């Protein structure tokens, strides 16, 4: 099941209605609608034609125009709770998005740690909270309401919070199965491989992410030297499908030589690309990695 389907990320609403904006700013709803229609506030429309304003744009508008946010919480009241399959995950997504765009490192860490405890696993934290929030950030980047520096900073803040989870997890026991992974050259996406490491650590693996943008040869060396039980590759961006297939084949060969299972995942692994690759498992969500890892280690 694709992460997007499972989480209905598209129906994950973080934009506010004119009524919510009005309540937050302490002005009338008709003023807000007028600002929307005059282009002072960047506005999108719901499928039913209702105006929606991104929370980040409301904050920017208030700052630029010197408006006081009298009731900021009004922006985060879910007007359509029945749309969400899990209200707690929806609340965590909202808080996380707000904290990321406000560059509030402490709140990001607190929200991620709370969501981890509430969801009960790193894979659920990833699939239900972090991934949909970043999908939304990506959509905003496409619409031009989030800048590249904000996107990058958001990744940094999440990495910091993940380090706290890392510290809270028990040290792997002697004899714990090893796992290593990362991304190949041309692929800068650092969150999925960091999350895969924590998913596996939580399941009792001695897991290490080697990071991003790695020559296949060096991953192959790591596999030969460390003899892991599981190797993962995350594919978030493909520059050249043939090059990816060649790099992947090198890692797969190294994994086969030491008897490791190669697990692949990532947004850019479309069926046409996957057909050229050999692997033990393809996962489109971290929950699949957790299940596979448990089965392998049973």
The binding site for ligand B12 (CB under 6 A) comprises 3, 126-127, 130-131, 134-135, 137-139, 141-142, 148, 151-152, 155, 188-192, 195-196, 232, 234, 236-237, 263-267, 283-286, 288-289
| Smallest separation, CB 138 to ligand B12 (Å) | 2
Whichever of 20 and 183 has its CB closer to ligand B12, that residue is 183
| Smallest separation, CB 75 to ligand B12 (Å) | 21
- Kindly tell me the number of DSSP H helices and DSSP E strands found in the chain: 14, 8
Q: Exposure of 1 by Cβ count < 10 A (0-12 exposed, 13-18 middle, 19+ buried)?
A: exposed
Is the CB of residue 41 less than 8 Å from the CB of residue 35? yes
- Closest by Cα among 261, 198, 289, 239 to 3: 289
| Smallest separation, CB 47 to ligand B12 (Å) | 19
Whichever of 16 and 125 has its CB closer to ligand B12, that residue is 125
Tokens matching residue 267: 């947004």
| Smallest separation, CB 139 to ligand B12 (Å) | 5
Whichever of 25 and 180 has its CB closer to ligand B12, that residue is 180
Phi, psi dihedrals of residue 122, rounded to the nearest 5°: -70, -35
Whichever of 35 and 134 has its CB closer to ligand B12, that residue is 134
| Smallest separation, CB 248 to ligand B12 (Å) | 12
> Any idea which residue has 């707000």 for tokens?
98
Q: State the sign of the Cα–Cα–Cα–Cα dihedral 238, 239, 245, 248.
A: negative
For β-strands 261-265 and 230-234, DSSP reports them as parallel
Whichever of 23 and 206 has its CB closer to ligand B12, that residue is 206
């Amino acid at each position: 099941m694709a992460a997007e389907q499972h989480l209905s990320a598209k129906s994950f609403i973080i934009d506010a209605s004119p009524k919510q904006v009005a309540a937050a700013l302490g002005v009338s709803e008709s003023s807000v609608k007028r600002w929307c229609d005059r282009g002072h506030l960047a506005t999108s429309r719901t499928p039913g034609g209702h105006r929606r304003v991104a929370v980040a744009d409301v904050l920017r508008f208030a700052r630029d125009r010197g408006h006081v946010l009298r009731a900021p919480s009004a922006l985060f009241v879910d007007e359509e709770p029945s749309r969400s399959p899990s209200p707690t995950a929806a609340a965590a997504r909202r808080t996380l998005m707000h904290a990321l765009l406000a560059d509030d490192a402490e709140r990001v860490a607190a929200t991620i740690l709370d969501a981890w405890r509430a969801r009960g696993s790193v894979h659920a934290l990833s699939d239900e909270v972090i991934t949909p929030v970043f999908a939304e950030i990506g959509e905003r980047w496409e619409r031009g309401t989030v800048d590249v520096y904000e996107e990058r900073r958001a990744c940094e803040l999440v990495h910091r919070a993940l380090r706290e989870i890392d510290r809270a997890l028990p040290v792997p026991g002697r004899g714990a199965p090893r796992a290593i992974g990362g991304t190949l050259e041309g692929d800068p996406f650092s969150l999925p491989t960091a999350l895969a490491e924590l998913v596996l650590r939580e399941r009792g693996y001695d897991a290490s992410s080697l990071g991003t943008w790695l020559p296949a040869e060096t991953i192959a060396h790591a596999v030969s030297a460390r003899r892991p039980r599981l190797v993962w590759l995350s594919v978030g961006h493909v520059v050249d499908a043939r090059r990816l297939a060649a790099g992947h084949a090198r890692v797969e060969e190294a994994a086969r030589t030491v008897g490791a299972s190669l697990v692949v995942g990532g947004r850019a692994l479309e069926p046409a690309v996957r057909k050229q690759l050999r692997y033990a498992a393809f996962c489109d969500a971290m929950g699949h990695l957790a299940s596979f890892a448990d089965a392998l280690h049973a």
